Structure 1
Amino acid sequence: MDFKRVQSAIVQRFRAYFYWSSLLFFRSFLWNTAILLTSAATATLLANNAPIWVALISLFVFRQKLEIKFWVGLLLSLVGLNILIGLDVWQTMNFNRGDILSIIAGFFYALYLLFTLESRKRVDTVSFMFFSLIFMIVVLYGATRISGDSITGFSRTTWGALLGLGLISHFFGWLSINYALGHLKGTNVSVTLLSQSVITALVAIPVLGESLSVNQIVGGLLVLSGVYHVNRRRVKS
């Protein structure tokens, strides 16, 4: 056995895990910081530019040919997302630091999706999640030490919310995304993830007692039609 080759492969693998974790960290850090500096609606809208970045990087860096149906589906979904969140967001947007951070967060999210797509060709979902989360914990701990933020002293209610956020939203959510990236195109996944806003609006009905406006219904239908348009061949097959 060539131990040097094995050692080199292990080092490269762990280095890759560190890179993926760093991308996810920067995306999460920028996104959460942006919400504090701008409105939640603006941050959500601008951070969801990841499909555009994924498409541009796939087109110009990886030289992938993107079909017309993808661009049509992407356009439908983005228009629907704007209507769903509210077109008045653009009127109040002044591109402050929070808005810029939201755009950059979308870029890092796109890089994470593309790097994960490539890695899932060689690594199974669970192993990828396990090592990525370990490195993510290390990076986050270092960030909290540098920033001086506390990771203790929260109330039971806060700990319960964090537990639910970690187990349901982060673990099962990212597990599903990483699994999908092992079976679908990155461009398709990035557009499909725009349906998160639609699901959020639907979940808010029983959980928060909210009701859907006409704009939200129209916007949600456009988002879903765009997602279907991008994946329609896969649906037919």
Structure 2
Amino acid sequence: MLQPSPSLSPGRHAFAALIVSNLFLALGPWMVRLADVGPVAAGFWRLALAMPLLLLFASRGAKGRIRPEWGMIALILLSGLFFAADLAAWHEGILRTKLANATLFGNSSSFLFALYGFVLARTLPRRMQVAAFGLAVVGTALMLGSSYQLSPRNFTGDLLAILAGFFYFLYLVVIDRARARLAPMPVLALATTAGALPMLVLALLLGEPVMPRDWTPLILLSLGSQVIGQGLLVYAMGHLSPVVVGIALLTQPAVTALIGWFAYDERLSASDVAGALLICAALVLIRLPDRVTRGL
């Protein structure tokens, strides 16, 4: 049952939860490549295997029955459809381009979500935020310039990842609105439930293999990316501004680039390392104004 969200004063561990969530989310593309089902089917299992746990957490966290706000429930269900579209496009793109490319383009939502934060606050960014945003842009450009390879194979995967980033931005906007009113687990449980069935239908329509022979990658994908990764992300979004969340999402390409290097010999260049360091610096700067107040 839905419950009101706690106060939006800064959570003591919100920023740490945000960073940890992105570390777990960055492992997702690797698990998609290891899965022996189709990419959309992998997205279905990510949601379906997580559903029982998330619904259990949501029900155990409820402290009492309240009258549901059906408009808010409908909005969260819509976010689940956006998330399903994001996963379908992104997972397909992961198999058609480099891991670093897929994660960089898939997280193009980071910049859109940060800009959404400024629009939402109806204010211009502070100097420290401008500096952090600038470092994040330069760092991402350095990583993208090094990892991107112009080829028909990568081009299709990159376009799919860009499309996924747009759907993920819509998902984040709806979740951000929902977290202003509701606790994290009910929000995530509803969104996950709404996205599972459309992904199964799409996987079957595409003729993908759905039943795995090896469940290990799918279980790790579901627990790591959906339960832990999305769970911590949705929690953090109730305490941190969209600007902070948006920039923090850019840690995923850096981590995924490392995985691509070690697992698939997709080697890192000096500009990859420099870009990752600039993104880390941006995370430090964006937190300086927000240590006492929530900020935007």
Q: Would you say same fold, with TM above 0.5?
A: yes
Q: Structure 1, residues 116-175: CA drift from partner, whole Å, max 9, x if none? A: 1110011101111222221122222222233332321x223xx11111111122210000
Determine whether 1:185 maps to 2:244. no
Q: Would you tell me which structure has more helix in proportion to its own residues?
A: 1
Q: Which residue of 2 aligns with 1:217?
A: 273
Map 1:47-126 to 2 at 5 A.
47-59=106-118, 63-84=122-143, 86-87=145-146, 89=148, 92=150, 96-126=155-185
- Determine if contact 1:42/1:99 at 8 Å carries over to the other structure: yes
Q: What is the TM-score with the length of structure 1 in the denominator?
A: 0.80
Displacement of 1:203 in angstroms is 6.4
Q: Which amino acid aligns with 1:35?
A: I
- Determine if contact 2:99/2:260 at 8 Å carries over to the other structure: no
Q: Which residue of 1 aligns with 2:13?
A: none
Out of 192, 209, 213, the residue aligned to residue 155 of structure 1 is: 213
Which deviates the most, 64-73 or 200-209?
200-209
* Distance in 1 separating the partners of 2:159 and 2:264: 30
Determine whether 1:30 maps to 2:89. yes
Which deviates the most, 226-235 or 30-39?
30-39
* Distance in 2 separating the partners of 1:172 and 1:47: 19
- Determine if contact 1:51/1:74 at 8 Å carries over to the other structure: no
Backbone CA RMSD of aligned residues:
3.2
Residues 53/227 of structure 1: CA separation in 2 closer, same or farther (3 Å cut): same
Displacement of 1:61 in angstroms is 7.1
Determine whether 1:173 maps to 2:229. yes
Q: Which residue of 2 aligns with 1:11?
A: 70
% same residue: 25
* Distance in 2 separating the partners of 1:88 and 1:131: 36
* Distance in 2 separating the partners of 1:96 and 1:188: 30
Determine whether 1:227 maps to 2:286. no
Q: Which residue of 2 aligns with 1:5?
A: none
- Determine if contact 1:45/1:82 at 8 Å carries over to the other structure: no
- Determine if contact 1:113/1:190 at 8 Å carries over to the other structure: no
Q: Paired residues, what number? A: 228
Unpaired segments ≥5 residues, structure 2: 1-66
Residues 228/118 of structure 1: CA separation in 2 closer, same or farther (3 Å cut): same
Determine whether 1:142 maps to 2:201. yes
Q: Which amino acid aligns with 2:150?
A: T
Q: Which of structures 1 and 2 has the bigger CA Rg? A: 1
Q: Structure 1, residues 30-81: CA drift from partner, whole Å, max 9, x if none? A: 1112233444333322222112222444455774533333232122123223
| 2:208 match: secondary structure | coil
* Distance in 2 separating the partners of 1:23 and 1:62: 24
Residues 62/107 of structure 1: CA separation in 2 closer, same or farther (3 Å cut): farther
| 1:71 match: secondary structure | helix
Q: Which amino acid aligns with 1:52?
A: F
- Determine if contact 1:120/1:182 at 8 Å carries over to the other structure: yes
Q: Which amino acid aligns with 1:72?
A: A
| 2:249 match: secondary structure | helix
Q: Which amino acid aligns with 1:190?
A: G
* Distance in 2 separating the partners of 1:194 and 1:181: 15
- Determine if contact 1:192/1:227 at 8 Å carries over to the other structure: yes
Residues 110/67 of structure 1: CA separation in 2 closer, same or farther (3 Å cut): farther
* Distance in 1 separating the partners of 2:269 and 2:187: 40
Q: Which amino acid aligns with 2:200?
A: Y
The higher-RCO structure (CA 8 Å, 6+ apart) is 2
